[in-house]
Amino acid sequence: MTTYQLQGLTALADPTRRAIFELVADRPRPVGELAKELPVSRPAVSQHLKVLKEVGLVTDRAQGNRRVYAANPDGLAELRAYLDHFWDQALASFRDIVEQTPEDQP
């Protein structure tokens, strides 16, 4: 778990890529529609979608002339599992901190 790649986190770190993911999570959309709602060019959107697809955060399917992208719950599940794991650890170590006040040491 520690040596995990967690490429999904890296993918969602970019604001534009996160915006794209949020748009397709709202509802599946073709590339052109995504580019219209974003301040970047259409090739940029294509490149971002390629990254999101590689890490399993989106899926695509041909629909006539267009290619419709949708959010993939599987990719999100991996990130949720990662955060949930450290949630428990963080809570435990944080509790240790609180119980051990700074005046404790001699």
Partner DNA sequence: GCTTACGGTAAGTGACTACTTACCAATTAC
Partner DNA sequence: GTAATTGGTAAGTAGTCACTTACCGTAAGC
Q: What residue type is 50 in one-letter code?
A: K
Scan residues 75-104 and list those touching DNA (CB under 7 A): none
Residue 44 dihedral angles phi and psi, to the nearest 5°: -60, -40
The 3-state DSSP class for residue 11 equals helix
**Cβ atoms within 10 Å of 101's Cβ, excluding its own:** 8
Nearer to a copy of itself, 41 or 63 (CB): 63
- Among the listed ranges 25-33, 74-82, 86-94, 95-103, the one in contact with DNA (CB under 7 A) is 25-33
Scan residues 29-58 and list those touching a copy of itself (CB under 8 A): none
Q: Which of 66, 80, 85, 95 binds DNA (CB under 7 A)?
A: 66
